[in-house]
Amino acid sequence: MNYIVFDLEWNQAPTVEEARPGLPFEIIEIGAVKVSAETLQTLDMFHRIIEPVVYPELFSHTRQVVALNQKDLEAGDSFHEAATDFLSWCGAGGEEYLFATWGSGDLKELQRNLEYFHIRNPFTGPIKYADVQQLYAISENETNQSLSLESVAQKMRISWQGRYHAALSDARYTAEILKTLDPELIETYPALDTYHYPDEKNEGLMLSYPDHLILYSPSFKTREELENSHTSILRCPVCKKKSKRLIPWHSGNGRAYYTIARCQTHGPMRGRRVFHDPEEDIHYTTITIKQITEEEAEHIVGKIRERGRRS
């Protein structure tokens, strides 16, 4: 298997009003590094500059950040050409691959651009990938999950020096950081891109991590259908069996809902449910479930029951 470590740069409309529906960000650069998962050797690199057609002028902020100027872009390929080349390069030789990126936005924007430009998207469902930013934070017990690539690369004293916010150079930094990670960690903590979300015919998804479980519900056309569905069931993070709720779902301070449930074998657990509606007709929830102690469960159940009595 190979890792395809990639990075995108994109451009946007000068104002919110001028943003084109379906394409808030137009990709202007793709940089990627192919790394063997077995030997961790860099096997190949990929780089394309793309001439933007929806937002042809570089947005002021983008111009300050990226390494490209207007002339570079005008000499660039079409997105169609660059994206098609990139996708065939990823799977060249029939080798399996896992995408790796710094943070979580790139796979979504890649697919959104494919859709906008009517290019066949080879990925029909959610994509498991390695979020190197998140994996690095986990490996270092770092509570800040959004460390900048630059700060981590400097801290790790990566010998190779390239410019930041240039797609290939950022992909190379990300690849060097990925190579230092424990392969087991990469396998244990997959990230999930949900640009293509499972529909209501689907059973949803379950991602299991060492200390928690995430349940992705199927998606529904309306919030109402979602709320009337049986998607609020908790499963034990250890044995995955359906577990009985001890209290109803209640809202916290933010947009999340909480509950406590119990597995007969593994004891109490806490569930955190969040509603998502990335598109007008896509509604789904994620439930994150963690084991908790008997004391914690008692405390929370007591507090909620008391709140119920007072209201």
Q: Which position among 23, 135, 263, 289 is part of the footprint of Zn ion (CB under 5 A)?
A: 263
Residue 69 interacts with Zn ion (CB under 5 A): yes or no: no
Decide whether 108 or 266 has the Cβ nearer to Zn ion: 266
Decide whether 147 or 238 has the Cβ nearer to Zn ion: 238
Piece of 79-87, 187-195, 257-265, 274-282 that binds Zn ion (CB under 5 A): 257-265
Q: Tokens 């930013």 belong to which residue?
A: 133
- Smallest distance, Å, CB 63 to Zn ion? 54
- Smallest distance, Å, CB 264 to Zn ion? 7
Piece of 45-53, 62-70, 226-234, 261-269 that binds Zn ion (CB under 5 A): 261-269
Q: Which of residues 3-22 bind Zn ion (CB under 5 A)?
A: none
Decide whether 113 or 243 has the Cβ nearer to Zn ion: 243
Residue nearest to Zn ion (CB): 236
CA distances from 59 to 10, 69, 78, 109, 145 (A): 10, 11, 19, 17, 28
Q: Which position among 92, 156, 239, 274 is part of the footprint of Zn ion (CB under 5 A)?
A: 239
Longest CA pairwise span in the chain (Å): 69
| Element housing 176 (H / E) | helix 167-180
Residue 242 interacts with Zn ion (CB under 5 A): yes or no: no
By CB under 5 A, how many residues form the interface with Zn ion?
6
- Smallest distance, Å, CB 238 to Zn ion? 5
CA distances from 142 to 128, 135, 136, 180 (A): 23, 10, 8, 16
Beta strands per DSSP E along 63-216: 97-101, 127-131, 191-193, 205-208, 213-216
* Cβ 99 vs Cβ 127: under 8 Å: yes
- Smallest distance, Å, CB 209 to Zn ion? 15
- Smallest distance, Å, CB 213 to Zn ion? 10
Decide whether 181 or 269 has the Cβ nearer to Zn ion: 269
Piece of 66-74, 98-106, 179-187, 234-242 that binds Zn ion (CB under 5 A): 234-242
Piece of 94-102, 184-192, 194-202, 263-271 that binds Zn ion (CB under 5 A): 263-271
SS3 state of residue 244: strand
DSSP 155: H
Residue 213 interacts with Zn ion (CB under 5 A): yes or no: no
Residue 261 interacts with Zn ion (CB under 5 A): yes or no: no
| Element housing 286 (H / E) | strand 282-291
Q: Which position among 5, 236, 260, 261 is part of the footprint of Zn ion (CB under 5 A)?
A: 236
| Element housing 49 (H / E) | strand 42-49
- Smallest distance, Å, CB 269 to Zn ion? 8
- Smallest distance, Å, CB 303 to Zn ion? 24
DSSP string over 106-125: HHHHHHHHHHHTT---S--S
Give CA–CA dist 118/300, Å, rounded.
50
- Smallest distance, Å, CB 226 to Zn ion? 26
The first and second tokens of residue 183, run together, are 């392969």
Residue 233 interacts with Zn ion (CB under 5 A): yes or no: no
SS3 state of residue 233: coil
Give CA–CA dist 188/213, Å, rounded.
12
| Contact positions vs Zn ion (CB under 5 A) | 236, 238-239, 263, 265-266
